């Protein structure tokens, strides 16, 4: 009994620690409030306990308990629905929304994190059961590092080059370099845009990146993250100051225009580099047969 207790404690601790590490609290992720953090930490503890109990059940052996693990793991699918519903409700009162693609990506990530917690607890518990408890200090960190590596995805800086761009007007038409953005009728607003606005070009590194950046969901994610950090001077019924991303239709790169509360161009470029590549927006044209032939 004492042997199994040690397995349970070490495996649960490793899994729960992994959930704490994976619970990112930055501008891109929900939850950012105590009740949301408590909910996900509680679910993480349950996931870690399930992984630990599975090891003990197999060691006894008690395969009925293992089937209970499978049924319980299926319940974590509801986490995706919970996140999707919560973030969708929050969208209703936002001037600059995340977009449905970004929300779906966040929901999938939170579901997957609990599976990685179960994985960490399973690996740690199995090592402790087969060897002894001091080996948990090796197995636990290795499992956590593996889950961190698995959960890390691409960012815009991996697939595109971001560079500063000049804002100008052709008559009343706002341009970022050679990309037309929108018509701005009021002269005072045009002066404000030239004085306080910022523009950048986002140039894809290959055709796969171009397809990804074509996605409206990916563009909205870029706008959201920029506004979440730098703020925006847009207000209700103020379309001229609304941040926009447009495409240069002939060459395929994007142009971003924003009038931020904190007009720091270098920081804006760094923010865009760190925007996650949304799973539903990723293109893989070059991996297909005809894509490779076209690239040749």
One DSSP character per residue, 32-56 reads -SHHHHHHHHHHHHHHHHHHHHHHH
The predicted-structure confidence for 3-20, as pLDDT tens digits, reads as follows 788 888 999 999 999 998
Please say whether the beta carbons of 14 and 118 come within 8 A: no
Of the candidates 22, 20, 21, the residue with the CA atom closest to the CA atom of residue 45: 20
The predicted-structure confidence for 46-67, as pLDDT tens digits, reads as follows 889 888 888 888 887 777 766 7
Phi then psi dihedrals of residue 167, to 5 deg:
-90, 140
- Tokens for 272, please give them: 């865009």
| Alpha carbon separation from 77 to 43, 135, 164 (Å, rounded) | 12, 32, 42
Task: Give the up-direction half-sphere exposure of residue 36: CA atoms within 13 A in the CB hemisphere.
Answer: 14
* Average pLDDT along the chain: 84
Please say whether the beta carbons of 243 and 136 come within 8 A: no
Q: Look at 36 and 269; give whichever has higher pLDDT.
A: 269
Q: pTM of the full predicted structure?
A: 0.82
Whether the pLDDT of residue 279 is over 90: the answer is no
The predicted-structure confidence for 115-173, as pLDDT tens digits, reads as follows 899 999 999 999 998 888 888 889 999 999 998 888 877 899 999 999 999 999 998 89
């Amino acid at each position: 009994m004492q042997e199994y207790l040690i397995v349970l404690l070490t495996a649960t601790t490793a899994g729960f620690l992994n959930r704490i590490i994976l619970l990112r609290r930055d501008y891109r992720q929900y939850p950012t409030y105590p009740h949301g953090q408590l909910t996900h930490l509680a679910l993480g503890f349950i996931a870690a306990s399930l992984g630990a109990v599975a090891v003990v059940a197999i060691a006894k052996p008690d395969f009925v308990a293992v089937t209970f693990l499978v049924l319980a793991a299926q319940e974590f699918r509801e986490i995706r629905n919970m996140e999707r519903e919560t973030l969708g409700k929050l969208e209703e009162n936002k001037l600059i929304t995340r977009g449905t693609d970004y929300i779906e990506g966040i929901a999938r990530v939170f579901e997957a994190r609990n599976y990685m917690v179960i994985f960490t607890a399973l690996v740690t518990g199995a090592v402790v059961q087969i060897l002894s408890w001091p080996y948990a200090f090796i197995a636990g960190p290795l499992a956590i590092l593996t889950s961190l590596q698995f959960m890390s995805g691409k960012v815009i800086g991996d697939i595109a080059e971001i560079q500063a761009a000049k804002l100008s007007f052709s008559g009343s038409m706002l341009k970022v370099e050679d990309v037309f953005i929108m018509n701005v009728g009021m002269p005072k607003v045009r002066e404000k845009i030239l004085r306080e606005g910022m523009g950048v070009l986002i140039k894809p590194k290959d055709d796969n990146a171009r397809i990804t950046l074509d996605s409206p969901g990916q563009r909205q994610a870029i706008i959201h993250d920029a506004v979440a950090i730098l703020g925006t001077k847009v207000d209700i019924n103020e379309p001229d100051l609304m941040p926009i991303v447009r495409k240069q239709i002939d060459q395929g790169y994007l142009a971003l225009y924003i009038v931020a509360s904190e007009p720091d161009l270098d920081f804006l470029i760094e923010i865009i580099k760190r925007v996650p590549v949304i799973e539903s927006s990723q293109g893989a044209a070059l991996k297909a047969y005809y894509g490779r032939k076209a690239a040749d």
